[in-house]
Amino acid sequence: MTDKNLQVLLRRRPQGAPVPEDFEVVETAIPTPGPGQVLVRAHFLSLDPYMRGRMSDAKSYAKPVALGAVMEGATVGEVVTSNDPSFKPGDVVMGGQGWQRFCVMDAARLRKVDTSVAPLSAYLGLLGMPGLTAWVGLEDIGTPKAGETVVVSAASGAVGQVVGQLAKARGCRVVGIAGGAAKCDFVVKELGFDACLDHRQPLDPQLDAACPDGIDVYWENVGGHVQEAVFPRFNDFGRMVMCGMIAQYNIAPGADAAGAPPGPNLGPVVRKRLRIQGFIVSDTGWGRYDAFLAEMTPLIAERRMRWREDVADGLAAAPRAFIGLLQGENFGKLVVRIG
């Protein structure tokens, strides 16, 4: 066994887009579990857009990562030693051990995973927080009905892939929006969306052609010019699932308007009786994980739920990969193979 731990720390708070110097990779001793605790070796780390928020000390729904602390993040891995009867060495688990190879965790914060349903790394995407986000947002806010038109931004990404395929399974017409021809091809040919529009090309004519009956549900992952183009095309009683607005994450609060992306005119919200609602998956999601798994498992077995991962190699590659995620460089759910 490697006798050192490897960790990625937050060295300083980014101004605008993060840069590699905001992180520090260090070697430390492997920690020892206390009573009721488990030592876990991570095999994969999830990189997710919310981590940009944790790097900032602006007021938010979750506490920031402290300077000098290990970056926060979900992992999947293997139990090395256990001081809790519910886990034994070799058990395969998911948890939130952060950007590090080894971590001591309270047993109550770990969940065993079944790799016969999907490979281990899928528990960071399809069957992890992003997939659960897709399911919760559709169940609670999007409520898509057969025959409705559902538009999904960042459609080839971790959340977008699952949103679109769940909406297809519920009988909707599903239109993705993604950056570039390769991502759009994947979304239609591999994931089975009805169409996918390239947001690097003018969106208005593409939306007119792909959504002749207007839009009933818009799943918002990006904001900016994509939101601006989608918004006027809502049907009466449309629902906008405010999942995230990644186009704004690198813009400092209080930055001048010239640096801000465009936003929609919200006037039609009243006239069209739209429902716009934000949510955070951790509010209710993990308590409903079994119901989520019950819907996803047969879809995976029937190959009606496909997914794509973008794998960075080695923990030291995590900062660069994360910086790329905030610029659309990932193609599929971004994970790090820790090695």
Ligand X SMILES: NC(=O)c1ccc[n+]([C@@H]2O[C@H](COP(=O)([O-])OP(=O)(O)OC[C@H]3O[C@@H](n4cnc5c(N)ncnc54)[C@H](OP(=O)(O)O)[C@@H]3O)[C@@H](O)[C@H]2O)c1
* Residues forming the site for ligand X (CB under 6 A): 48-50, 130, 133, 154, 156-160, 178-179, 183, 199, 221-222, 224, 243-247, 279-281, 325-328, 330, 333-334
**Cβ proximity to ligand X, 102 vs 135, nearer residue:** 135
**Cβ proximity to ligand X, 130 vs 144, nearer residue:** 130
**Cβ proximity to ligand X, 83 vs 282, nearer residue:** 282
Alpha-carbon distance of 161 to 306, in angstroms, equals 8
Backbone phi, psi, residue 308, to 5°: -130, 140
Alpha-carbon distance of 235 to 70, in angstroms, equals 45
Backbone phi, psi, residue 153, to 5°: -90, 165
**Cβ proximity to ligand X, 39 vs 163, nearer residue:** 163
Question: What DSSP assignment string belongs to 4-44?
Answer: SEEEEEE-S--SSS--GGGEEEEEEPPP---TTEEEEEEEE
**Cβ proximity to ligand X, 98 vs 244, nearer residue:** 244
Residue 74 · residue 5 · CB < 8 Å: no
Residue 331 neighbours by CB distance under 10 Å: 17
**Cβ proximity to ligand X, 13 vs 225, nearer residue:** 225
CB of 196 to ligand X, least distance (A): 9
Q: Closest residue to ligand X, Cβ-based?
A: 157
CB of 225 to ligand X, least distance (A): 8
The Cα diameter of the chain in Å comes to: 64
Residue 187's nearest CA partner among 210, 220, 154, 212 is 154
Q: How far is CA 302 from CA 124, 167, 298, in A?
A: 21, 16, 6
Structure tokens at 53: 């928020």
